């Protein structure tokens, strides 16, 4: 016997439609429950009697000044046929109107459920009232902005309404909202097929542009032509919608893709600079700083352009510093230090930048960032006579942090660097370190780096007659 059947067995006649009407709301306040009861009453009971008895039943769950039906019970009621469709639409219409007319600041969470003021809540009840087109508009708006509880709730609403036939399945806006929530929850394998489905459509919509961007970014290197086509299509859609920032973001991703391809560096640089220009025009300085960093990385790979790269790094750092983006400053200081470490006579400046990056990352509690930068610092110190002990200390500290936070790939890479550092002093210990690195890579099935380590082991043996 279901929870609903069990309850109805001992309940007064005619209570089913009232419960189904209350189940139209995701959560309730006493005031809203009373108003719904008046539209679908239980014969022979007044609202106070009913609410008192129902709350005593244990089938409601308190939520601060709000409350909701037991989830299993509500799920059954939503799918039941106790309430005619016209009556359901009427209740949903009342809840839409309530959210539109009430003062959120005065009533939210007190006399009116808070969710009614969210885009997800508005969309849910518009769909329940029969206006699916307007509901799609609000479900689309619900996916905007950083991940929040309203987006999660919206995805839950969509799933329910598609299952119950209230909303048609496969709509771009609702599919995107579900995929977006999955992605933010770390369920990428489930989300990407949904984004791919959206990306296959020809609709010039924001959701399609974002899906194309995400799919293009996720392509493996062997499918770079397809990725480029998807990113260009995303840019085209955003441009047609007047979404200049969306264009800037995707140009950045396109430039990242092109920068990895031989013979496409000029195209990449052009895309980076266009992205920066748009970022400046829409006054998104955070984006400008990020893209300057990426541009500098590209320029730093080209002989004769190191001065331009350094200038871009320093501009990025200056912007991030003015924005209070300390993590961005730390990241770019690391990259700047990498560039300086390649230049004779600038090792002191490189070391200073590495140590400043480490200090910031440590203050932010970013232990992985500290481990990575210690590795780079150790590589720099290992090239300097008289600083071997300092280099060894940095390698060991980087490895220790990597082990504590279970970053196996980092540990394996740093073990190899450490082994090459101490080879001249203790080749046998170097081989021990390389063996540890190989074991990690084999366990992680990192074939490419495992092959590199095997090659390094062979070279160390040959150089030292071992």
Looking from the CA of 281 toward its CB, the CA atoms found within 13 Å total 12
Identify whether residues 17 and 98 lie together within a single domain: yes
The number of angstroms, rounded, from the C-alpha of 352 to the middle of its chain's C-alpha atoms is 33
pLDDT band at 124 (very low <50, low <70, confident <90, very high): very high
Is there a contact between 63 and 24 (Cβ–Cβ < 8 Å)? no
Q: Are residues 83 and 226 in the same domain?
A: no
Mean per-residue pLDDT over the chain, rounded: 93
324 Cβ contact list (under 8 Å, min separation 6): none
In the three-class reduction of DSSP (H, G, I as helix; E, B as strand; rest coil), residue 385 is classed as: coil
- Residues 294-306 have pLDDT tens digits of 999 999 999 999 9
Pair 17, 100 in one domain: yes
Domain membership of residue 177 (yes or no) is: no
Say whether pLDDT at 388 is over 70: yes
Helices (H), ranges, 185-264: 188-199, 206-218, 224-241, 244-259
Question: Is residue 160 over pLDDT 80?
Answer: yes
Structure confidence at residue 1 as a pLDDT band (50, 70, 90): low
- Are 41 and 144 part of one and the same domain? yes
C-beta separation of 59 from 7 below 8 A: yes
Residues in the chain: 466
Looking at the fold, whether 21 and 122 belong to one and the same domain comes out as: yes
How does pLDDT run across 22-57, given as a tens digit for each residue?
A: 999 999 999 999 999 999 998 888 889 888 888 888
pTM for the model stands at 0.88
**Region 396-418 average pLDDT:** 96
> Are 38 and 162 found together in one domain?
yes
Structure confidence by residue, pLDDT tens digits, 327-352 = 999 999 999 999 999 998 999 999 99
Domain co-membership, 82 together with 230: no
**Rounded CA separation 155/217 (Å):** 24
Q: What confidence score (pLDDT) does residue 432 get?
A: 94
Tokens of 161: 């309404």
pLDDT at 4 over 80: no
Contacts by 425-428, CB closer than 8 A, 24 or more apart = 425/388, 427/460, 427/463, 427/464, 427/466, 428/466
160 shares its domain with 223 = no
Q: How far apart are CA 285 and CA 293, in angstroms?
A: 12
Does the pLDDT at position 153 exceed 80? yes
Same domain, 120 and 218: no
Domain of 355 in residue numbering reads as 284-365
Q: Which residue has the tokens 């518009």?
A: 126
Give the CATH number of the domain where residue 296 resides. 1.25.40
Residues 151 and 55 in one domain: yes
Are residues 115 and 44 both part of a single domain?
yes
Tell me, rounded to whole angstroms, the distance of Cα 298 from its chain centroid.
Answer: 26
Cα angle 365, 369, 371 (rounded to 5 degrees) comes to 105
Number of domains in the chain: 4
Which DSSP string corresponds to 143-199?
T-SS--HHHHHHHHHHHHHHHTTSS-TT-HHHHHHHHHHHHHTT-HHHHHHHHHHHH
């Amino acid at each position: 016997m279901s929870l609903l059947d069990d309850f109805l067995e001992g309940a007064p006649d005619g209570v089913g439609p009232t419960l189904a009407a209350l189940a139209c709301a995701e959560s309730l306040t006493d005031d809203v429950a009373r108003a719904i009861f008046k539209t679908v009453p239980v014969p022979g009971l007044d609202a106070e009697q009913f609410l008192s008895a129902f709350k005593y039943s244990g089938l409601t769950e308190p939520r601060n000044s709000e409350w909701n039906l037991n989830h299993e019970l509500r799920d059954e009621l939503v799918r039941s046929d106790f309430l005619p469709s016209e009556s359901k639409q009427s209740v949903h219409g009342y809840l839409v109107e309530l959210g539109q007319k009430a003062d959120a600041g005065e009533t939210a969470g007190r006399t009116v459920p808070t969710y009614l003021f969210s885009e997800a809540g508005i969309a849910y009840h518009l769909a329940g009232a029969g206006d699916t087109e307007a509901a799609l508009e609000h479900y689309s708006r619900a996916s905007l902005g950083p991940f929040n509880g309203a987006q999660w709730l919206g995805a839950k609403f969509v799933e329910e309404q598609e299952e119950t036939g209230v909303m048609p399945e496969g709509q771009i806006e609702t599919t995107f909202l579900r995929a977006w929530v999955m992605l933010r929850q770390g369920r990428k394998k489930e989300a990407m097929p949904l984004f791919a489905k959206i990306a296959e459509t020809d609709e010039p919509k924001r959701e399609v542009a974002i899906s194309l961007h995400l799919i293009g970014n996720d392509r493996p290197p062997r499918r770079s032509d397809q990725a480029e086509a998807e990113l260009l299509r995303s840019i085209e859609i955003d441009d047609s919608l007047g979404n200049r920032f969306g264009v800037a973001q995707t140009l950045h991703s396109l430039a990242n893709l092109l920068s990895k391809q031989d013979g496409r560096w000029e195209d990449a640089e052009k895309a980076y600079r266009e992205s920066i220009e748009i970022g400046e025009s829409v006054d998104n300085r955070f984006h400008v700083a990020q893209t300057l960093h990426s541009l500098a990385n590209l320029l730093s790979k080209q002989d004769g352009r190191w001065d331009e790269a350094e200038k871009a790094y320093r501009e990025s750092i200056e912007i991030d510093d003015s924005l209070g983006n300390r993590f961005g400053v730390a990241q770019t200081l690391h990259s700047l230090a990498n560039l300086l470490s390649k230049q004779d006579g600038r090792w002191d400046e490189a070391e200073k930048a590495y140590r400043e990056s480490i200090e910031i990352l440590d203050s932010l509690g970013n232990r992985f960032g500290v481990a990575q930068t210690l590795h780079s610092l150790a590589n720099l110190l290992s090239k300097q006579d008289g600083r071997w002990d300092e280099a060894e200390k940095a390698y060991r500290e980087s490895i220790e942090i990597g082990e504590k936070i279970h970053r196996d790939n980092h540990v394996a890479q740093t073990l190899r660097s450490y082994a090459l550092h101490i080879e001249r002093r203790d080749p046998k210990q170097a081989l021990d370190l390389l063996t540890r690195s190989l074991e990690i890579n084999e366990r992680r099935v990192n074939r490419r780096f495992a092959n590199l380590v095997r090659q390094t082991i062979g070279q160390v043996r040959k150089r030292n007659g071992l």
